[in-house]
């Protein structure tokens, strides 16, 4: 195909080059009701032109938590990046730095945290998944902090991680402990509520996490305005409005449609990302 000129072109190039199973994993969520709602919400949100405005001296720079970025866009966390390129997360970190930008490093990174941070030059942010217990979560957080991350993005919109993708032997979440054993359930209990969700984080766990890091703490996966307010009250420094790209809860609302109410609810002093 010709040299890519748009996001759609890059998407098609990736589809052509990746194994179908990897492409399905990467593209998962796009064709769910939630994924389609995400796209429709953006299509319905026009950019209003205001001609004759004097824009000399204009720029796209933004300051977040004491860090000046060249533009208000970050690379979102993406697991197992060595599935797509042998240089994995290190290449993404270098690319973000080269564009005067920032990367959010996944808990499920396929390279060691310290190697990614060294490649970035600009210390990245860290996306933290709850590890089923406070002890295991604290160990993972300590590894990321020791590597030098700048902020913590606590992700709560995927409390249960389920995928049919079989990872190749040379790719995995190299920074995680061995998986914990499943929660045993009694007769009459729910596999969902008493099994899988028994290891999901709660508001008390968020408060505990706030006590255990002095880094900027953002809560990722907020769609309800009351949850955004409660997160700020519990000490979060920022909110990320997200439905996990439509990958987890297929019937969730479009993130963009929830953004105005959340911005209004938390007020102008709290950074809100999408």
Q: Which residues are catalytic?
A: 244
Using CA atoms, how far apart are residues 151 and 126, in angstroms rounded to an integer? 6
In the chain, the largest separation of any two C-alpha atoms, in whole Å, equals: 70
Neighbours of 78 (CB within 10 A): 19
Write down the H helix ranges in the chain: 7-17, 20-27, 33-43, 88-98, 113-120, 134-147, 203-211, 225-233, 255-266
The answer to whether 60 and 67 have CB atoms below 8 angstroms apart is no
Strands 67-69 and 62-64 come out as: antiparallel
Rg of the chain, C-alpha, whole Å: 19
Decide: residue 115, CB within 10 A, 0-12 exposed, 13-18 middle, 19+ buried: middle
Query: Distance between CA 15 and CA 26 in Å, rounded?
Result: 9
């Amino acid at each position: 195909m010709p040299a890519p000129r748009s996001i759609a072109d890059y998407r098609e190039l990736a589809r052509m080059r990746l194994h179908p199973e990897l492409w399905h994993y990467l593209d998962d969520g796009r064709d769910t009701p939630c994924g389609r709602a995400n796209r429709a919400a953006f299509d319905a949100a026009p950019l209003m032109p205001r001609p004759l405005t004097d824009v000399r001296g204009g720029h796209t720079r933004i300051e977040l938590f004491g860090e000046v970025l060249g533009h208000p866009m970050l690379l979102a966390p993406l697991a197992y990046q060595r599935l797509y390129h042998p240089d994995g997360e290190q290449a993404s970190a270098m690319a973000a730095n080269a564009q005067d930008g920032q990367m959010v490093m996944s808990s499920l990174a396929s390279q060691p945290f310290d190697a990614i941070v060294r490649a970035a030059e600009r210390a990245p942010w860290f996306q933290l998944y709850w590890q089923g217990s406070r002890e295991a979560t604290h160990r993972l957080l300590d590894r990321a902090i020791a590597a030098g991350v700048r902020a913590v993005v606590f992700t709560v919109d995927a409390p249960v991680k389920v995928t049919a993708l079989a990872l190749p032997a040379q790719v995995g979440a190299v920074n995680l402990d061995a998986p914990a054993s499943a929660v045993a359930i009694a007769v009459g209990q729910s596999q969902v509520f008493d099994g899988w969700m028994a290891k999901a984080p709660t508001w008390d766990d968020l408060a505990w996490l706030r006590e255990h890091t002095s880094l900027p703490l953002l809560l990722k996966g907020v769609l309800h305005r009351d949850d955004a307010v409660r997160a700020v009250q519990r000490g979060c420094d920022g909110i990320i409005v997200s439905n996990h790209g439509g990958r987890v809860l297929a019937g969730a609302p479009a993130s963009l449609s929830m953004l105005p109410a959340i911005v209004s609810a938390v007020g102008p002093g709290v950074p809100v990302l999408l």
